[in-house]
Amino acid sequence: MRGLRAIVFALLAVATSACSSGSGSGADPLGVRSTSSPAPALSGDTLQKGSIDLASLRGSVAVVNFWATWCTPCRQEQPQLERVARAYRDRGVRFLGVFERDDAAKGRAWVKEFGVTYPSITDPSGSFADDFALFGLPDTFVIDPNGTIRWVITGKTTEAELSRLIDRLLVASGSPSASA
């Protein structure tokens, strides 16, 4: 029984670390993972009363961030995500939020509170989280112009960390505005 308790405790510690400390802490063993897998299909209605399809962002570097209003690390990273989205908008980088298993009215209030300028798709059933093999919230996926996920950031990201990854993709894609 003690062995089972130890395993459960260890799993809870890892999950708590992913959901609270974020990848910007340096001590988090999860952090940024390099990958090369096609981005799953992602389309639907947004909190902003429109619709969007991730495939329509092909040709641009895209950042997909999964979040919810009840997630404290999501709240901590949201201002940084918005600053990066604004800083890279003129360079063709597109952001897309995925609002996970939460109340739409609360999500719209969040968008207003933080002045979020990019769309967030609603995912009340969590099916998009399943498609992206989400570890927890927040999780962020940095996608190249060909629709390939290049980095997965497990936990809270920082402005500096996300900017560094975007810059690497802009340079790799030969974007003329990569050094802007």
pLDDT digits (tens, 9 = 90+) for 50-69: 999 999 999 999 999 999 99
pLDDT higher than threshold 60 for residue 119: yes
pLDDT value of position 173:
81
Nearest to 154 by CA among 132, 137, 168: 137
pLDDT value of position 30:
56
Are residues 140 and 32 in contact, defined by beta-carbon separation less than 8 angstroms? no
In whole angstroms, how far apart are CA 38 and each of 146, 149, 176? 9, 6, 24
pLDDT value of position 172:
87
Which overall architecture, per CATH, does domain 2-172 show? 3-Layer(aba) Sandwich (3.40)
Q: What is the CA radius of gyration of the chain?
A: 16
Give the integer Cα–Cα distance in Å for 99 and 81.
14
- Read off the pTM: 0.82
Give the integer Cα–Cα distance in Å for 33 and 119.
25
Domain boundaries, the chain: 2-172
